[in-house]
């Protein structure tokens, strides 16, 4: 969550995170990111800003 809030490129850090967690496949680490509702909400908001950067945040 903190990485997303800080604007960190998650894909750049996934290999290190996967190694730290002891996962053989990076896809096993990505699975953890799909199971957090708060994270999915943040990702959804980021995607909405990506597809419509001129929209007001108040809408």
Model confidence over 2-59: pLDDT tens digits? 887 788 888 888 888 899 989 888 888 877 777 678 877 877 888 888 888 887 655 5
Instruction: Compute the residue count for the chain.
Output: 59
Between CA 35 and CA 58 the distance in angstroms is: 27
Is residue 45 within 8 A of residue 7, CB to CB? The reply is: no
Look at residues 26, 24, 25, 22 and name the one whose alpha carbon lies nearest to residue 10.
Answer: 26
């Amino acid at each position: 969550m903190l990485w997303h809030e800080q604007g960190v490129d998650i894909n750049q850090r996934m290999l290190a995170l996967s190694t730290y967690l002891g996962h053989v496949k990076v896809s096993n680490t990505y699975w953890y990111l799909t199971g957090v509702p708060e994270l999915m909400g943040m990702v959804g908001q980021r995607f909405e800003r990506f597809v419509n950067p001129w929209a007001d945040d108040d809408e």
